[in-house]
Amino acid sequence: MLIRSAFIIVAVTMVGRLLGFIRGIFISQEFGVGAETDAFFMAFVIPMTLLMILPGAINSVFIPALNRARTLEEGSERVLFEKVFTITFLAGVLATALMYLLSSPLVSVLAPGFDPVKKELTLELLKWMLPSVVLIALTGVFSSVLNVHHQFFYPSLGTVINSSLVIASIFLLVPFMGIHGLALGTSLGFAGYALIMVPSLLKKKYRFRIRREWRGDPVLTGMGERFVPVMIGSLVSQLALFIERILASGLGDARVASLALAYTVMQLPMAVFVGAFTVPLFPLLSEHAQHKRYDQMKKLLEKGVAYLVLIMIPIMAGLIMLSEDIIRLLYERGEFDAEDTQLTAWALMFYSLAILGLALRETLTRAFYALEDTKTPVLTGLAGIVFYVGISLLLMPQLDHGGIALSFSLAAYLSSFLLAFILRKKTGRVLSGHFWLTLVKTLAASAVMALVLGWIHGFPGEYQDAGWMAGWPSVIKVSLLIVLGALVYGGVLLILKEKLLWEMIGRLFHRITGKKEKDVS
């Protein structure tokens, strides 16, 4: 079940993220990296942060409650959905109204280093994006229901619809409204994200009724008690984005935008692979935890972490080695020039270090949520934020905005280490010797891959265009280097006889050919 669902999510998410990149390319081509894009990305941090915390927080409390409701009398889960839909919709409308009223002081807090003109533009763009608040909350409710029914396609397809509508706004709205059209397109994108799931919900006989009898419901009370710390924990984990914007706002023009674009590139493998495993993993972990099958839960968790290690470490190494070429390929056109490429690549190189730490943090956090422990992720997240701020202040004078990205990466590993340590204390040993052997082999294969790429193309910090690939079109050069890196990495793992690689290849073969296989669940 886990692998089958992961492949579905990977396929759809890849398309969505590809469109997300195309969206970023059009934005950078249209506006470059400067005052307007700084203002846009500063305003966008609010809906982007809500997208990263609200659906996950709602999933973590709603999915277990729905699973329990399905074991009761017929229709209980639909009644629960209507109550949660009512609360979410009303709370979203209220939050949108409050943020609209407080938008001016909110922008002043977010962008203390912006001049008055950039602050005013940020405020205008934020107001266009605020309808996204209620829409994002509803995507969390809708996706939870579909995930409980083991339907992952349409929740994943939402990213495709979102990016498509934003891209359309660049051609249809921006010529008439300027960058304000892009902000409006952002809200329309989130509307499409939510609406794409509605037909599937209707087929499952869920109805969008406003129910008044939700007060005093013990199930909702229990969900609320768990939701608050989950929400706080998720918000803490995303505070880094707000802090990043605040710190970067005082470094001069283009820093906020370059960090945002680099973060978007780094998030591609995070969204594709981490999301692909954690989304179907959480309902399974929750089911095992509910029935107190802790050995099976730990075995499943180890398998998920091992898959992520095998995938994410070489991606991390590849992004570091090819950071400048990747940014040049993706963004350097129109108003986005060579200097913008260097600024963005500098941030990407340090952000790439975070990939494994973030993957581990997200996966381990789901294990705590399955155990209905929502406090531990909050505490470890707070520790990571304090560490992040302190290290950022130390590194920024030497590394400029790269110091912010590097501090973010180090904080991700600190949070992951604390979660793993506490989980071991709570449940006993989770990771066996097989996992650690896989980790060592993966690190060795990734190191060989990085050395080969460095030998051929040059290491970060060198003038890489001086080699024999100088003058090659970026798309050909990057494509060849990625293929070469993958072949070297896979070859070394084959030499080291890594069994998990063969297992993944076998499952991929079964998915392509349609042959039956035994699920890992």
pLDDT bucket at 94, cuts 50 / 70 / 90: very high
**Residue 309 corresponds to which tokens in the numbers above?**
């290690």
| C-alpha distance from residue 147 to each of 64, 155, 245, 386, 400 (Å) | 11, 8, 33, 34, 42
The string of pLDDT tens digits covering residues 321-352 is 888 888 888 887 767 777 888 888 899 999 99
What's the CA gap between 394 and 411, in Å, rounded? 14
Mean pLDDT of 223-249: 75
Taking the model in full, what pTM does it have? 0.66
Mean pLDDT of 179-202: 91
Mean pLDDT of 72-79: 78
What's the CA gap between 406 and 320, in Å, rounded? 12
Residue 462 reports pLDDT greater than 80 = no
The angle subtended at Cα 207 by Cα 67 and Cα 284, nearest 5°, is 20
The string of pLDDT tens digits covering residues 284-298 is 676 676 667 767 777
Provide the total of helices (H) and of strands (E) in the chain, helices listed first. 22, 0
Q: What is the DSSP letter of 197?
A: T
Q: What is the 3-state secondary structure (H, E, C) of 284-349?
A: HHHHHHHCCCHHHHHHHHHHHHHHHHHHHHHHHHHHHHCHHHHHHHHHCCCCCCHHHHHHHHHHHH
Residue 236 reports pLDDT greater than 80 = no
Mean pLDDT of 35-44: 84
pLDDT value of residue 348? 92
Please tell me which of 148-157, 242-251, 362-371, 416-425 the model is most confident about, judged by mean pLDDT.
416-425
Are the CB atoms for 308 and 33 separated by under 8 Å? Answer: no
pLDDT bucket at 519, cuts 50 / 70 / 90: very low
Q: For the chain, what percent of residues have pLDDT higher than 70?
A: 84
- Mean of pLDDT over the chain: 81
What's the CA gap between 113 and 126, in Å, rounded? 17
What's the CA gap between 221 and 84, in Å, rounded? 11
Q: Is residue 210 left, alpha or beta, with left meaning phi > 0 and alpha meaning psi from -120 to 50?
A: beta
pLDDT value of residue 463? 47
pLDDT value of residue 521? 43
